[in-house]
Amino acid sequence: MIEIHNLTKTFDKIKAVDEVSVTIKDNTVFGLIGTNGAGKSTVLRMVSGVLRPDSGTVAVDNMPVYNNVEAKKKLFFIADEPYFFANSNARTMERYFSGIYEEFNKEEFYKYLEHFNLDENRKISTFSKGMKKQLALLLGICAHTKYILCDETFDGLDPVMRQGIKSIFAKEMEERGLTPVIASHNLRELEDICDHVGLLHKGGVLLSKDLEDMKCNIQKVQCVFATVDEELKALNGMEVLKKEQRGSLRTYTVRSTREEVTARFATVDTVFYEVLPLSLEEIFISETEVVGYDIKKIILG
């Protein structure tokens, strides 16, 4: 487990990270969402031990990370722009990382290179941005660390490659308990892979919740009521996060379980109603609007 407590980092009087506290559970996919400049990269660099926090703590399996070799053995950090040695190829980088990580799986690495059509002898400097991201991911996966920290790692990958990497993550999680931490500015990119999502804004955590809990406890209902009284009866005591109206059709986003909503609406006179699934984007919009933020401006531009 990675435990981040009151983490703060300032650069030239600019507070990049402001008392961030997050717990990342083992064998889950944690998504760190935020716009450019929100502090995602700085948080990941402090978690990986590249940067020292000004204040606060980072512990990996109860071990402090900074200047701790044993803790760092459990982590593989992939920067937004992965670094490779000058004039190196994939084979060069494999030799380097297999010398650092004792459990690096060379056989698996070369199989993945073949699967992703990456030439092991070609100079990495001639690779496209997407190819460099793929190579960095494969090195990280094959290092067989417990945690892999990815900074905008899917940015630059085409949909097929992105899905391929996500499938490998799922396989590694099932087989050896890998815990991926993925930072991204794109909310939609992480919807189908994350178990827990944290929203970082202006250096602080605006929201951090289990995705399944969020989906189970927020519902969207479309309905047409027989009368205004029936509408009032249905909504009495229910926490309404958002309401939209088009003619007689009402759309409510409410904080409740699906079972509770279904039971409530079954007792009132409606012409029509249905409970609809929400996207991760809709859930975050609802949650952040309640606390006075407009996520459409924060994340979606």
User: Each residue of 40-61: pLDDT tens digit?
Assistant: 999 999 999 999 999 999 999 9
Instruction: Give the model's pLDDT for residue 6.
Output: 93
Adjacent-strand bridge partners of 91 = none
CATH of the domain at 267: 3.30.70.1150
Together in a domain, 35 and 176? yes
* Structural domain contains residue 244: yes
Adjacent-strand bridge partners of 220 = 253, 276
Instruction: Give the tens place of pLDDT for each residue, 225-274.
Output: 999 999 999 988 888 888 899 999 999 999 888 899 999 998 999 998 99
Instruction: Give the model's pLDDT for residue 295.
Output: 57
* Structural domain contains residue 208: no
The 10 Å Cβ neighbour count of residue 86 is 7
Together in a domain, 47 and 176? yes
Instruction: Give the model's pLDDT for residue 216.
Output: 79
Q: Specify the amino acid at residue 89.
A: N
Instruction: Give the model's pLDDT for residue 187.
Output: 74
CATH of the domain at 112: 3.40.50.300
Structure tokens at 9: 């980092």
Residue partners of 147: CB distance under 8 A and separation at least 6: 2, 60, 74, 75, 76, 178, 179, 180, 181
* Structural domain contains residue 34: yes
Adjacent-strand bridge partners of 208 = 198
**In the structure, what pLDDT confidence band is assigned to residue 277 with cuts at 50, 70 and 90?**
confident
State the residue for tokens 């079972």. 259
Q: Does residue 148 carry a pLDDT above 90?
A: yes
Together in a domain, 166 and 227? no
CA distance 279 to 188: 9
CA distance 110 to 95: 12
Q: Does residue 206 carry a pLDDT above 90?
A: no
Q: Domain total for the chain?
A: 2
Question: What is the b/e burial string over 104-139, where b = at least 16 CB atoms within 10 angstroms of the residue's CB?
Answer: beeeebbebbeebebeeeeebeebeeebbbbbbbbb
* Structural domain contains residue 239: yes
Q: Does residue 30 carry a pLDDT above 90?
A: yes
**In the structure, what pLDDT confidence band is assigned to residue 290 with cuts at 50, 70 and 90?**
low
Together in a domain, 57 and 188? yes
State the residue for tokens 């202006």. 202
Instruction: Give the model's pLDDT for residue 61.
Output: 95
Together in a domain, 143 and 193? yes
Together in a domain, 137 and 243? no
Together in a domain, 65 and 183? yes
Of 170, 202, 234, the residue that ends a domain is 202
Together in a domain, 192 and 231? no
Of 177, 202, 227, the residue that ends a domain is 202
Together in a domain, 142 and 221? no
Of 147, 173, 202, the residue that ends a domain is 202
Together in a domain, 198 and 238? no
Together in a domain, 39 and 72? yes
* Structural domain contains residue 260: yes
**In the structure, what pLDDT confidence band is assigned to residue 297 with cuts at 50, 70 and 90?**
low
Residue partners of 27: CB distance under 8 A and separation at least 6: 173, 177, 178, 179
Range of the structural domain that residue 58 is part of: 2-202
Together in a domain, 136 and 259? no
